[in-house]
């Protein structure tokens, strides 16, 4: 049986083991003096969902897989608010179709990362298909942006131990999120703002979208930025968030 680890950034002084019974069992352990929160295969690669929990840094991340109507207003607002260093996870097939937008993302000072090429769930694919998609995405994004990707958010956020291992072999760190605004559901501007800012803590990686399916994100964004800044947070890229951090593990199934 194979397990995953979640690495908790909080300082804990003892090990705790909790056994869950469903169709299989998993155990839980806490190890102290950590700064980074990640999912990890046993003794293997990690998937980050939260940065260091000390200081004042948070990351705004935007997923884009289709359309060109919503991303420009989002970029306009970020520029108006003086916000750089957001991380845009791009479907490479989308990036190929919109090189001008990708160029602007980079020019405006944001980080580009990968959503893969085809935007189909990796957990349903064979190893060779996953490898091909990651490498093709890296090639295509570099072609239109001039940037070599090293961060990967698997399509739909789905990954398993296999995906973690393949990503590491291809020099990509898998990045999840700690706050999901669910803005793609268009739940209302106030709801998106609250989801992104209520209870936000240092190290949080906030998931937003910039595909055409989101009709309220650009309206919520000014309030999100103002609230985060008002609460003393510094908006940084995921790469800056995770740089020079240490981690150990908490095991889950």
Residues serving a catalytic function are 63, 209
Integer angstrom CA distances of residue 224 from 62, 124, 189: 14, 35, 10
Residue with tokens 């650009």: 218
Name the β-bridge partners of 38.
7, 48
Tell me if 9 sits within 8 A of 203, measured CB to CB.
Answer: yes
d(CA 175, CA 154): 8
The DSSP annotation for 121-171 comes to -GGGS-HHHHHHHHHHHHHHHHHHHS----EE--GGG---HHHHHHHHHTT
What Å distances lie between residue 232 and 31, 57, 197, 199, CA to CA? 29, 9, 12, 13
């Amino acid at each position: 049986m194979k397990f995953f680890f979640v690495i908790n950034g909080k300082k804990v002084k003892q090990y705790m083991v909790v056994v869950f019974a469903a169709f299989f069992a998993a155990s839980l352990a806490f190890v102290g003096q950590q700064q980074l929160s990640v999912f990890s295969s046993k003794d293997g690669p990690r998937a980050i969902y939260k940065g260091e929990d000390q200081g004042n840094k948070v990351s705004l991340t935007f997923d884009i897989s289709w359309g060109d109507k919503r991303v420009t207003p989002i970029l306009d607002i970020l520029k108006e608010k003086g916000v750089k260093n957001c991380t845009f996870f791009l479907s490479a097939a989308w990036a190929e179709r919109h090189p001008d937008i990708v160029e602007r993302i980079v020019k405006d000072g944001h980080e580009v990362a990968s959503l893969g090429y085809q935007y189909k769930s990796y957990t349903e694919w064979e190893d060779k298909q996953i490898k091909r998609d990651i490498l093709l995405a890296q090639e295509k994004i570099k072609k239109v942006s001039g940037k070599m990707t090293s961060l990967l958010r698997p399509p739909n956020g789905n990954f398993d131990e296999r995906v973690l291992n393949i990503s590491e072999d291809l020099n990509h760190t898998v990045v999840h999120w700690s706050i999901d605004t669910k803005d793609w559901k268009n739940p209302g501007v106030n709801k998106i703002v609250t989801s992104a800012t209520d209870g936000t803590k240092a190290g949080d990686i906030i998931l937003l979208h910039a595909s055409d399916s989101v009709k309220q994100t650009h309206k919520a964004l000014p309030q999100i930025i103002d609230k985060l800044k008002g609460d003393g947070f510094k908006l940084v890229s995921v790469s800056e968030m995770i740089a020079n951090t240490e981690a150990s593990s908490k095991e889950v199934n």
